[in-house]
């Protein structure tokens, strides 16, 4: 299975942009790149996903490298409520989303 | 449009008892997934069900654990003869269509925190 690599943790200051990286060097042509996040004591929630082109929604932006071997989730202005564990996942030939350890984002006031 | 509903939110059982966790998927969703999250760990896939069928149970422990998704009613994750190691948060998710080779997304419930005394 194609795997993703993310830093264990990152810190950001409130109101500043945050760039969360994800490496997926073994991605195949049909893999979608999904991002979910899990706030404390809650279930994960969908953030964004993409295939080849960069994507924007109300929560975040997803920048996908031209070779698709890496991607970056961008939070344009971090708030304290964005403190969570962020998961980068490839949807391949699986019946489910395979969650790794993710990146724990800390937002400092 | 209610989201994925899980109950109970918290469940306390003594060793040897049975635990039943319920999950009602989002309206219009017929695909249900169960995940387990041990303290300070990531989510681990357990089982994927469609109405009345278990599609993938590769993440389920071979003994004591079972899941169903009947034609009517919620999906049930059942743990028999619970042990302390079963203490964890159990999350249910649903999707409208299958995930394989699609851009479907999962919608998660708030989870059931199981504590085994």
Q: What is the mean pLDDT of residues A78-89?
A: 96
To the nearest whole number, what is the mean pLDDT of chain B?
93
A75 in Cβ contact with A86 (< 8 Å): no
B66 in Cβ contact with A59 (< 8 Å): no
pLDDT cut 70: percent of chain B above it: 97
Phi–psi pair at A70, nearest 5 degrees: -155, 160
Residue of A100, A39, A103 lying closest to B35 (CA atoms) = A100
Tens of pLDDT, residues B10-24:
999 999 999 999 999
> What is d(CA B32, CA B47) in angstroms, rounded to the nearest whole number?
8
Helix-strand-coil split of chain A, %, nearest 5: 5, 45, 50
Q: Give me the pLDDT at residue A2, please.
A: 60
Q: What is the mean pLDDT of residues B63-72?
A: 95
- Residue the block writes with tokens 């389920």: B60
Q: What is the mean pLDDT of residues B102-108?
A: 85
Whether B56 shows a pLDDT value over 60: the answer reads: yes
Interface test with B, best of A97, A99, A103 (most B CBs within 10 A): A97
State whether B56 and A46 contact (CB < 8 Å): no
Phi–psi pair at B54, nearest 5 degrees: -90, 120
Task: Give the containing element (helix H, strand E) for B44.
Answer: strand B43-50
> What is d(CA A91, CA A96) in angstroms, rounded to the nearest whole number?
8
State whether B93 and A93 contact (CB < 8 Å): no
Whether A1 shows a pLDDT value over 70: the answer reads: no
Q: Give me the pLDDT at residue A96, please.
A: 76
| Cis upstream peptide for B81 (omega within 30°) | no
B56 and A CB contact within 8 Å: yes
Tens of pLDDT, residues A2-40:
689 999 999 999 999 999 999 999 888 888 899 999 999
Tokens of B73: 């009613």
Question: How close, in Å, is residue A16 to chain B by CA atoms?
Answer: 27
> What is d(CA A62, CA B26) in angstroms, rounded to the nearest whole number?
26
Q: Give me the pLDDT at residue B61, please.
A: 94
A3 and B CB contact within 8 Å: no
Tokens of B64: 């004591």
């Amino acid at each position: 299975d194609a795997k993703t690599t993310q830093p264990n943790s990152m810190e950001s200051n409130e109101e500043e942009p945050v760039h969360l990286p994800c490496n997926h060097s073994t991605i195949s042509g049909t893999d979608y790149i999904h991002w979910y996040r899990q706030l404390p004591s809650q279930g994960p929630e969908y953030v964004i996903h993409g295939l080849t082109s960069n994507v924007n929604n109300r929560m975040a932006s997803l920048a996908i490298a031209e070779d698709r071997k890496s991607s970056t989730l961008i939070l344009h202005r971090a708030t304290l409520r964005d403190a969570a564990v962020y998961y980068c996942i490839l949807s391949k030939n699986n019946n489910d989303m395979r969650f790794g350890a993710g990146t724990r984002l800390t937002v400092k006031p | 449009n209610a989201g994925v509903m899980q109950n109970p939110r918290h469940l306390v059982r003594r060793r040897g008892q049975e635990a039943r966790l319920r999950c009602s998927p989002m309206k219009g969703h017929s695909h249900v997934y169960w995940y387990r999250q041990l303290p300070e760990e990531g989510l681990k896939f357990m089982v994927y069900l469609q109405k009345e069928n278990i599609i993938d149970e590769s993440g389920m422990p071979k003994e004591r654990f079972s899941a169903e998704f009947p034609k009517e009613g919620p999906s049930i994750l059942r743990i028999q003869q619970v042990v302390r190691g079963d203490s964890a948060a159990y999350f249910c998710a649903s999707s409208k269509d299958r995930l394989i080779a699609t851009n479907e997304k999962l919608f998660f419930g708030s989870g059931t925190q199981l504590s085994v005394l």
